[in-house]
Structure 1
Amino acid sequence: MSINRPAAAALAAALCLLTAACGSSSDDKASAKSAEAAASKSGYPVTLDNCGQKQTFDKAPSRVVVMNGASVAEVSTLLALGLGDKIVANQQGYGMSEVPGRAAAIKALPTGDVKVNEAYDIPREAMLGLRPDLVLSVTTYGFDQKNGFATRDQLKQVGANSYVSPQGCDDDPSKMTVADSYQLLRDMGKVFNVGDRAEKLIAASEKSIASVSAKVKGEKQPKVMVLFSNMSMGGNDFSSVFAHGIVNDILAKAGGANAFADTTEATFADLSKEKVAATDVDAVVVMSYNDPNPAAYAKKLLKEFPQWPAAKNNTYVTLSDSMYLGPSNDLAVRKVAEMLHPDAV
């Protein structure tokens, strides 16, 4: 049987598709393998499932905007990973830090010359004008259209990914632990292809905390009051007292316990002066949020409640960023443990 030339060519093409035995197919396979190898080497694409939204990164972000959210976790994490040069606008800052040089490094970052809104954060039009390729927010609040912010969908439309920090999806940090700080480090490590740096930081933190916890194991757990200095968030005299959240995990690892954990299920307790006075407080942790002299507040507090064991023994420590979500929780664990168990640590 003879086959004409066009039919033979067609048959050859069909066999080529079925068997992948033709030169062009081999070239395609080689090209595909090359692309896969390049992607593997670059670490991209990277996809994160963040608060129910998939965010895919084809390359490392180079125009990062960090929203305020009364946090320094996000900007501190980027700085700890050596990514400060990727930030085009930062609205976070506590004014002080347990990490030498960090407060100054945060202050030196660009702000984008943004006029913030009533929530002290970046409004929608200003955000879009910054041309970000990644926007970091502490909670979903930072992407709420009702509050004048750019939504995650609006950011996606202009080519920007978005990220909400751990436990920020439901805007409830009451269940936050040190593990969430590690999750933030790991996620940013993946996004920027610096996972090795993230893992080294996490390993060092875990080792430091384990060492401290081992030394205070079996010791009596003093009752600790943790609060922000000179800050009011409710209707009572003491509305910035922590009841739950990452501070409780830090206290436990340092050999202590929260004196007000049973007052509410929320992150913060809103306490009367009478309730505070009636509680035995063995030690105080005063957290500074842009307060240049938290020690003065701590001394004033101890003077106000002289019946506390904390006042009689002058037992207090002032901290800032290490006591909350961020890359430096190991410093808080060590400093709190040194206050509570000076002979053990």
Structure 2
Amino acid sequence: MPMNRPVATALAAALCLLTAACGSSSDGKAADATAEAAASKTGYPVTLDNCGQRETFDKAPGRVVVMNGASVAEVSTLLALGLGDRIVANQQTYGNSEVPGRAEAIEKLPDGGVKQNDAFDVPRETMIGLRPDLVLSTTAYGFDEKNGFATRDQLKAAGAHSYVSPQGCDQDTAGMTIADSYRLLRDMGKVFNVSDKAEELIAASEKKIAGVADKVKGEKKPKVMVLFSNMSMGGNDFSSVVAKGIYNDILAEAGGANAFENASEGSFADLSKEKVAATAVDALVVIGYNDPDPAAYAEKLLKEFPQWPAARNNTYVTLSDSMYLGPSNDLAVEEIAKMLHPGAL
């Protein structure tokens, strides 16, 4: 049957469009394959979904700013991955560490000449002036404009990526666990294309913790008080006592339990002297945050509360960065287990 010209023309156009579409799909697949091959070879691009924001890295950052955040999680993670040379300004320090040489390595890092603002961190103008390509913050607090900080959008506009560490999106770290330390390592491993090193560190930590946990399995779990030495966070005599967070996960792996876990819904409890005195404490874990002598603080507490089993047996250990988010939680698990169950290890 003869086909009129308009219909023939329309059909030819449709076939042309179909052919073009097929060609476009083929070209797209080829382009995707090329991109995948390039990513496989270089490790980039890398995309992270971080606190509701997507960050895509086309190369490893070379100018990193580590915000304070009352933490050493981020700087310790970078050092553990061998990335200290990427840091142009670090604001984190505990003053000491369970890892030999780490405190000294942190001390030697550049601080960027930063004069911290009233919120004890890098002001917006100073941050932009540092020309970072990656800014790390323990919680979303570090990117809050009302605190005088550069927002994540402002940093993006200035050409910088930003990253909030695990459990820090809503500034509530009560749900933090050791797994979050591993996630931080993995994320930084991807960002800097050192995933093999990150997985090596994680595997070693998991193996050590599993070994300790197996040795103390079935043992009675002593009640442990965990607190920061010489630090005030509230209105009561004992406002730096740990209630929830990664500390409890560490205690559990070491065969212990937090004596004050139910004293607060948040990470810290603000306790009176009477409440502390009325609680049976079997052991102390004192975290030294820029305190040159946390042991003196522990001994003072034991004298102040002689009724504690911990005081009668002089049972305490002082720790620092291994008790917090970071790459060294296995060291805290081991040291606490030795204190609580010396016959098992």
Same topology, TM > 0.5: yes
Three-state SS of the structure 1 residue aligned to 2:333 is helix
Three-state SS of the structure 1 residue aligned to 2:284 is strand
CA distance in 1 between partners of 2:263 and 2:21 (Å): 71
Residue in 1 aligned with 2:138? 138
The structure 1 segments of at least 4 consecutive aligned residues displaced by more than 3 Å after TM superposition are 13-21, 25-36
1:50 pairs with 2:50? yes
Three-state SS of the structure 2 residue aligned to 1:156 is helix
Three-state SS of the structure 1 residue aligned to 2:262 is coil
CA distance in 2 between partners of 1:121 and 1:242 (Å): 24
1:246 pairs with 2:273? no
| Shift, 1:43, TM fit | 1.1
Deviations 1:281-317 (A, max 9, x none): 0000000000000000011110111111000000000
Residue in 2 aligned with 1:123? 123
CA distance in 2 between partners of 1:27 and 1:92 (Å): 49
CA distance in 2 between partners of 1:261 and 1:244 (Å): 6
Residue in 2 aligned with 1:326? 326
Deviations 1:89-129 (A, max 9, x none): 00000000000000000000000011111122100000000
Residue in 2 aligned with 1:208? 208
Three-state SS of the structure 2 residue aligned to 1:173 is coil
CA distance in 2 between partners of 1:315 and 1:81 (Å): 34
Three-state SS of the structure 2 residue aligned to 1:135 is strand
TM-score (ref. length: structure 1): 0.92
Equivalence map 1:187-206=2 (5 Å)? 187-206=187-206
Relative distance call for 1:168 and 1:35 in structure 2 (3 A) is closer
Letter in 2 for 1:219: E
| Shift, 1:145, TM fit | 0.5
Three-state SS of the structure 1 residue aligned to 2:174 is helix
Q: Unmatched 5+ residue regions in structure 1?
A: 1-10
Number of matched pairs: 333
CA distance in 1 between partners of 2:30 and 2:137 (Å): 42
| Shift, 1:220, TM fit | 0.4
CA distance in 1 between partners of 2:255 and 2:22 (Å): 67
Relative distance call for 1:219 and 1:155 in structure 2 (3 A) is same
CA distance in 2 between partners of 1:47 and 1:235 (Å): 43
Q: CA RMSD in A?
A: 2.0
CA distance in 2 between partners of 1:261 and 1:180 (Å): 19
Residue in 2 aligned with 1:70? 70
CA distance in 1 between partners of 2:274 and 2:175 (Å): 27
Letter in 2 for 1:308: W
Identical aligned residues as a percent: 77
Equivalence map 1:155-194=2 (5 Å)? 155-194=155-194
